[in-house]
Amino acid sequence: MVETSGLVEKIAQGRERLRRVQEALGLAIVGQDETIHRLLAALLAGGHVLLVGVPGLAKTLLVRTLAAALAWRFRRVQFTPDLMPSDILGSEVLHTDPATGARTFKFAPGPVFANLLLADEINRTPPRTQSALLEAMQERTVTAGGATHQLPSPFMVVATQNPIEQEGTYPLPEAQLDRFLFSLLVPYPNAGEEERIAALTSGPEPPPPPPVAEVAGMVGIAREVPSPPNVVAWAVALVRATRPEDPTAPPRVKEFLRWGAGPRASQHLLLAAKAEALLAGRFAPTRDDVRRVLKPVLRHRIVLRFNAVSEGIRADEVLDAVLEKAPRA
């Protein structure tokens, strides 16, 4: 952990840079203020993000604009039913030396070797290919041909997903979902926003924003922020209350959840709360920070029972019950 004075100065400089990035995104994207806020929080926490919404809500444009504003190397992979893991990670290819004619296998890096990877419509491809990103997201490495290759730093995955009710989609494996810091629900624009979108997109296409700030040093800085013990206890209590077998679980959890969130959820909940505090100009998280990030951190880590699905109960509704009934640690 860096000294407190150095951390404060580093964060103060970083917040100004993030503000300029946020302004650049606001010029290119109409609405989606909360989504932009959470993307920047994920950057501070060093986490990955899953964007969930129907096609046409500018999810891809948002991620591409973020990469341009950060001057990060950006790669996009369109996930399709025939996509193979090697199409993402890379593969060993036969290389012939033009001078000697000797043939050797060399690793050809795939699109995952970027600073910001957009996994577009990730639930359009089968689980075997979806799971190819697990090592990259957790370890920041790729193993191929018996060798381990380090990914660039910083490295961030933003995946987009269409609602699972749509045809031709595959549910993401639980282990994959658990690697995402946030699952963000991208809403439809309101009437005024949709009018602005229609006016802007029916004219000449605007150029991408120029790089506005260097923020690589801010990636993952939330880990350097201390957490008050009462906030740690509060976050852990909330996560444990999502487990149906836990004595603190409220009745709606026992009735509607098959599985609750695991220990990684507690880690991510604290990281997200610390990032939330930093974006607000504070250097320690509060219970309110934990409360604000609870749903985007946990909604993809709990599994609903069949009766909940049949009754139209959403994960967020169960999490509301957790917030109401969980013990005040």
325 token code pair: 């009934």
Which amino acid appears at position 320 of this protein?
D
Question: pLDDT by residue for the chain (329 residues), tens digit each?
Answer: 445 666 677 777 777 788 888 888 887 788 888 999 999 999 999 999 999 988 888 888 889 889 988 889 999 999 999 999 999 999 888 878 788 878 888 888 999 999 999 999 999 998 888 888 999 999 999 988 788 999 999 999 999 988 766 667 888 888 889 999 999 999 888 899 888 888 877 777 777 777 776 776 788 888 988 899 999 999 999 999 999 999 999 999 999 999 999 999 999 999 999 999 999 888 899 999 999 999 999 999 999 999 999 999 999 999 999 999 865 54
10 token code pair: 């580093």
Which residues 6+ apart lie within 8 Å of 234 measured at CB? 287, 290, 328, 329
Q: How far apart are the first and last CA of the chain?
A: 26
242 token code pair: 């999502």
Interior/surface letters 195-229, b for 16+ CB within 10 angstroms, e for the rest = eebeeeeeeeeeeebeebbebeebbbbbebbebee
Asked if omega into 154 is within 30° of 0 (cis), the reply is: yes
What fold characterizes domain 225-329? Helicase, Ruva Protein; domain 3 (1.10.8)
278: closest CA among 10, 1, 26? 10
pLDDT at 166: 67
- Pairwise CA distance, residues 227 & 210, whole Å: 36
- Pairwise CA distance, residues 63 & 32, whole Å: 12
- Pairwise CA distance, residues 34 & 184, whole Å: 9
- Pairwise CA distance, residues 242 & 318, whole Å: 8
- Pairwise CA distance, residues 324 & 291, whole Å: 11
pLDDT at 162: 80
